[in-house]
């Protein structure tokens, strides 16, 4: 084992601060089960704070599966199925909303774009699997009229991020495993100022299949009108 355990000590110290900060009754309402309001499938990028982005302080509010590329599916002997991390709270914890959360500058989308355009797999195999699952989405996007294929790579990749969020949301809405009354939302978490100058804003790009910003804005209170935007429409 490594003799230097600075990271381990930082984790233990951080948990100590966490424990000391909690009110005595912090877990009182979730001792016997959980009923999260939403399952938010996020990219596992360390720059994407899964609960903090929603201002969540209470436990049991957000169910937070994640993987590279915020993918809602998995491969089961050649078939794409909805990932169990998304389905569990819907079927077993009364969750009635899903948020698919991509983010600007996504490395998984970048790797899939490079692979789709003749580049090499990033490796190792455990990473390649998830990148390969994104390649058909990227190929479909590049063949559509929504991506500016002549733009610089940064622009193309951020457009692909949003396209991927829409593709993941569509897969959920079309799956027989997701009840029709479950709401599906798509967001892009922007910490790079791509959509605007508010770093850390989750831009709402999809509401139950609606992707046009003006139409989404009409569904929201006026105070949230600027939180919907799109690089595609």
2 carries a ligand binding annotation = no
Furthest CA-CA distance within the chain: 58
**35 known member of a binding site:** no
Give, for 201, the enclosing helix (H) or strand (E).
Answer: strand 201-207
Alpha helices, DSSP H, located in 83-205? 84-92, 107-116, 125-143, 153-174
User: Residue 103, annotated ligand binder?
Assistant: yes
d(CA 166, CA 233): 12
Which distant-in-sequence residues (6+ apart) come within 8 Å of 154 by Cβ?
Answer: 105
Spatial contact of 39 and 84, defined as CB atoms under 8 Å apart: no
Annotated binding site: 43, 103, 106
Annotated binding site for Zn(2+): 43, 103, 106
């Amino acid at each position: 084992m490594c003799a230097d355990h600075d990271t381990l000590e930082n984790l233990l110290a951080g948990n100590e601060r966490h424990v000391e900060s909690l009110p005595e009754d912090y877990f009182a309402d979730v001792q016997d089960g959980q009923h999260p309001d939403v399952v938010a499938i996020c990219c596992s990028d360390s720059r994407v704070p899964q609960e903090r982005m929603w201002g969540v302080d209470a436990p049991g509010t957000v169910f937070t599966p994640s993987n590279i590329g915020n993918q809602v599916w998995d491969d089961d002997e050649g078939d794409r199925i909805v990932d169990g991390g998304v389905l569990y709270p819907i079927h077993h914890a009364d969750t009635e909303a899903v948020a698919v959360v991509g983010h600007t500058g996504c490395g998984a989308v970048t790797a899939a774009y490079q692979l789709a355009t003749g580049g090499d797999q990033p490796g190792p195999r455990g990473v390649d699997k998830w990148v390969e699952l994104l390649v058909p989405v990227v190929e479909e996007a590049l063949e559509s009229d929504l991506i500016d294929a002549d733009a610089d790579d940064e622009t193309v990749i951020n457009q692909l991020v949003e396209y991927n969020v829409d593709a993941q949301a569509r897969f959920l809405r079309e799956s027989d495993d997701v009840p029709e009354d479950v709401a599906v939302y798509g967001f892009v978490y922007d910490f790079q100022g791509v959509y605007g100058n508010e770093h850390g804003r989750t831009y709402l790009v999809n509401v139950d299949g609606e992707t046009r910003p003006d139409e989404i804005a009409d569904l929201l209170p006026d105070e949230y009108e600027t939180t919907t935007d799109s690089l595609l429409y």
